[in-house]
Amino acid sequence: MKDMIKVEKLTKKYGSHTAVDEINLSVKRGTVFGLLGANGAGKTTTIECILGTKKADHGTVSIMGMDPHKQRKKIFQKVGVQFQEAAYQDKITVSELCEFTASLYKSTTDFMELLSEFGISDKLKSPVKELSGGQRQRLFIVLALIPKPEVVFLDELTTGLDARSRRDVWKILADLKEMGLTIFLTSHFMDEVEVLCDQICILKRGKIVFYGTVAEAIRQSPYEKFEDVYLWFTDEEGQNDENL
Ligand SMILES: Nc1ncnc2c1ncn2[C@@H]1O[C@H](COP(=O)(O)OP(=O)(O)OP(=O)(O)O)[C@@H](O)[C@H]1O
């Protein structure tokens, strides 16, 4: 299977603070990769370096075999990104934002279908700023899927969604994966990581402390519940520090 994303020895510093420290990862086509870690561990910085919106200090990144700095326009057409906070006009409606997003790409999916799959088609004429937090979050996933991406980056996938919506989003993503979509996500919810991710990478202060499958992470720890396992790998004061 082809590597859709390959990162080698990626390092990014902000002043003297090393936010991402020599990380390596690779993501195969049609798989779901979860980048995990506490607040400030370096997840967003890693994604920004992969997308080329931040320049790494060291290391190499390739996405669909391309260099994110040299082939940014070509990558833009094939990659979807879910933003936490999108900059949009104050009064823009859901349909206007979808139409604007679609206008940026050569080939697009019918956004009406996506809005209805994500349960927000009745909000078409509503101003985006009047949506609830969960509705806005779902809209941002829709925007990421409009360009019919080959790879999609979903940062804090279901933050703010209620239990039903989270399950619905999981199902849609599982179906998209079956159709060959590659998904790179970050999440603070270990239940969804367990359900969705084929491979995970856990970061702690910019360094990889675990890389592999959820099952392998469980086997390498003294715990059985994945949330306990995750905390064991990331715990600042934890008993496992000597093993890292
Ligand atoms: N523009 C910046 N200037 C200086 N420091 C930054 C900048 N962006 C991020 N950092 C620092 O780099 C580290 C990694 O931040 P990053 O946003 O990548 O973490 P994260 O894992 O995405 O966190 P979260 O889960 O809270 O989104 C943090 O210590 C953060 O304070």
Write down the pLDDT at residue 85: 66
Cα separation, 224 vs 80, in Å, equals 34
Is residue 91 scored above 90 in pLDDT? no
Please name which of 142, 151, 154 lies closest in space to residue 117, comparing C-alpha atoms: 142
ipTM: 0.96
Which residue ranges form the domains of the chain, and what is each CATH number?
A: 1-78+151-164+180-238 (3.40.50.300), 88-149 (no CATH)
Q: Which of 39, 208, 230, 234 to mutate to test the pocket of ligand 1 (most atoms within 8 A of CB)?
A: 39
How much distance in Å is there from the Cα of 53 to the middle of ligand 1?
14
- The alpha-helical segments, DSSP class H, found in the chain are 43-51, 72-78, 94-103, 111-117, 133-145, 163-178, 190-196, 214-220, 226-234
Per-residue pLDDT reduced to its tens digit, 173-223:
898 899 899 999 999 999 999 999 999 999 999 999 999 999 999 999 999
How much distance in Å is there from the Cα of 131 to the middle of ligand 1?
27
Per-residue pLDDT reduced to its tens digit, 57-78:
999 999 999 999 889 889 999 9
The pTM assigned to this predicted structure is 0.91
Write down the pLDDT at residue 95: 95
More confident residue, 179 or 86: 179
Reported as a pLDDT band with limits 50, 70 and 90, residue 237 is low
How much distance in Å is there from the Cα of 1 to the middle of ligand 1?
32
Is residue 244 scored above 50 in pLDDT? no
- Compute the mean pLDDT over every residue in the chain, rounded to the nearest whole number: 91
Closest ligand 1 atom to residue 38 Cα is: 25
Rg (CA), the chain: 18
